[in-house]
Structure 1
Amino acid sequence: MLMKVKEVAGLVGISVRTLHHYDEIGLLKPEQTTESGYRIYSEKDLETLQQILFFKQLGFPLKKIKEIINSRSFDREEALRVQRKMLLEERSRLDNMIATIDKTIRHAKGEIEMSDKEKFEGIDFSHNPYEQEARERWGDEAIDESNAKIKQMSKDEQKRMGEEFDRIYRDIAAVRHQTPDSDEAQAAIKVWYDYLNKIGNYSLDAFKGLGQMYVDDERFTKNIDKYGDGLAVFMRDAMAEYAERNTN
């Protein structure tokens, strides 16, 4: 069923201006536009909008949402499972906070006593759990193992490793204008995969997850893009393609 922008806004409960903004920043571009310039949304567009709003409700900025849903490795069903898990955790946290508020009211009335620790139960200012979930699923173990091996190297060994990293990144940057699934890109990414497994133990899933981290973590993106604009995104897509091709 096709819907006009006002119909979508009314259905979802957001403003037409918000939908226009999503279109302008490339977050949600409707599949069709009439000759008069009216936006027409398909069922697929509505599914994408649902994902956007789920992520937004969970506290993700629009820039991060755009990166996630535009990733070649994005899986809608997997995202829904992770979002469900996060919402259940959030519901549990809110239930704990409500219980703490109820106890605080009773404490204020003199009905019960509360310890200082009890006064802050359910309050959690930890970082975004989705990114932690991704790290746990895709390769903290491999990253930690690599870091441990690097620390054991001599200064000369670390210098040579740095030079090898530099050479590989430059070779990948040289083909970044190709499509990530091109033979040239895949050959360059294979060299990176093989080298990582000399200093660590990266499964294909971990390799794919590491590529996603290159985009999700601004520190990675900044350092990688020094070799060429857009290299981090290119590597993520090429690494995802390599993992998918080589998974039995």
Structure 2
Amino acid sequence: MKPSGSPHRASVAATIRSMPDVADADGLTVGQVSARLGVTVRALHHWDEIGLARPSLRTTGGYRLYTVGDLERLHRIVVYREIGLGLDRIRAILDDSAVDVGGALRAQRTQVAQRIERLQQFSTGLDRMIDAHEHGLLLTIEQQAATFGPEWNPDRHAQARQRYGDTTQWQQYAERSASRSPGEWQTIADTIAALDRALVDALDAGVTPGSPEANQLVERHREVFTSSYFPLTRQMQVCLGHRFEADPAFAAHYDGIRAGLATWFRRIIDASARAHSIDPDTATWQ
């Protein structure tokens, strides 16, 4: 197990600058070395146990004492640890004359640069996730209009955030939204538009609630919604279907496509729910 360093550990440059002039022939104790180097006593004990940095002296009582030479080795260990080298690599640099120290440091610099790049990517991803949790849809107003049509209301997601922001479903939706590109949103919009056309065709063809054709459309809606927004259970779908009919914004959307579509859509969802032993009148959002 690798011991952790002090949370107040000095930077590489500060560590190098703070090289103490230890002239005490009796050496320094573990506590004194810990304070001077900014590493924990536990780390010093561990380095001693694995033979990485053993004190040259002991008191008559068996306590460790570090000499000037010991301190110089410890300083190098601290510096190499600070730049991310592992203890085995540090041991090789200190003890193996065949090791190319410059090459090892250049390789470490490359790894550090790669880590910095990954952290920058993580930071960008976190920024997008924060924005998605706060706003839902990470598209400009112009992109929203181009994707969802000129009748799209850009305030819709702000209203949804205000109403559902503390729910698990909003969190699931936001985390998906954070990773989506405008092209992916366009694919979702096209898929939903295709479903709307299929609903209109079924209504025009006289498809009745509870029929195999109607039930297939209900399942298709649940699958599309689940892949686009968040997992939608059948009970939740029933609640949503009732909103399609009762909520003026939803009703205007569906009835704007075809008169009576909102009510018919709610009816086929209810019929499908009954086929799965769910009472539409008592269904809850779960």
TM over 0.5: no
Give the TM-score range, shorter chain: 0.3 to 0.5
TM normalised by structure 2 equals 0.35
Radius of gyration: which is bigger?
Answer: 2
